[in-house]
Amino acid sequence: MVTDEQSASSLSRSELREIWSELSAEERVDDFKKLSAIDAAKFFADLETIDQARIILALPIDERRLWLRSLDPDDAADVIQETEEEEKQALLEMLDASMRSEVFALLAYAEDEAGGVMNPRYVHVRPDMSVNEAIIYFRKQARTQQETIYYIYVLNNEQHLVGTISMRELLLASPEQQVRDVMRTQLITISENLDQEEIANLLSENSLLAVPVLDKDGRMKGVVTVDDVVDVVQEEATEDIQKMGGSESLDAPYLQITVIEMIKKRVGWLSILFIGEMVTASTMQFYEAEIAKAVVLALFLPLIISSGGNAGSQASTLVIRAMALGEVRVKDCFRVIKREFVTGVALGSVLALIGLLRVIFWPSASTIYGKFFVSLGFAVSLSVFGVVLWGALVGSFLPFVLKKVGWDPASASAPFVATIVDITGLIIYFTVANIFLRGAVL
Q: Which of residues 290-309 bind a second copy (CB under 8 A)?
A: 291-292, 295-296, 298-303, 305-307, 309
For a second copy, the closer of residues 22 and 63 by Cβ is 22
Binders in 270-289 for a second copy, by CB under 8 A: 270-271, 273-275, 277-278, 280-281, 284-285, 288
Query: What single-letter DSSP state applies at residue 127?
Result: T
For β-strands 190-191 and 220-225, DSSP reports them as: unpaired
Kindly state the smallest distance separating residue 384's Cβ from a second copy, in Å. Answer: 8
Kindly state the smallest distance separating residue 8's Cβ from a second copy, in Å. Answer: 5
Binders in 64-93 for a second copy, by CB under 8 A: none
Binders in 318-357 for a second copy, by CB under 8 A: 318-322, 325, 327-328, 332, 335-336, 339, 342-343, 346-347, 350-351, 354-355
How far is it, in rounded angstroms, from Cα 258 to Cα 264? 10
138 touches a second copy (CB under 8 A): yes
> Which one-letter amino acid corresponds to residue 348?
G
Kindly state the smallest distance separating residue 101's Cβ from a second copy, in Å. Answer: 25
Binders in 165-184 for a second copy, by CB under 8 A: 166-169, 171-172, 184
Determine contact, residues 383/356, Cβ cutoff 8 Å.
Answer: no
Give SS3 for 217.
coil
For β-strands 220-225 and 210-214, DSSP reports them as: antiparallel
181 burial via Cβ count (<10 Å: 0-12, 13-18, 19+): exposed
| Binding-site member from 70, 83, 101, 204 for a second copy (CB under 8 A) | 204
Binders in 96-135 for a second copy, by CB under 8 A: 135
| Binding-site member from 69, 234, 438, 440 for a second copy (CB under 8 A) | 234
Backbone region of residue 370 per phi and psi (left: phi > 0; alpha: psi in -120 to 50; beta: other values): left
How far is it, in rounded angstroms, from Cα 372 to Cα 4? 76
**Strand partners of residue 155:** 161
255 touches a second copy (CB under 8 A): yes
Task: Single out the segment in contact with a second copy by CB under 8 A; choices: 112-120, 153-161, 399-407, 417-425.
Answer: 417-425
How far is it, in rounded angstroms, from Cα 420 to Cα 312? 9
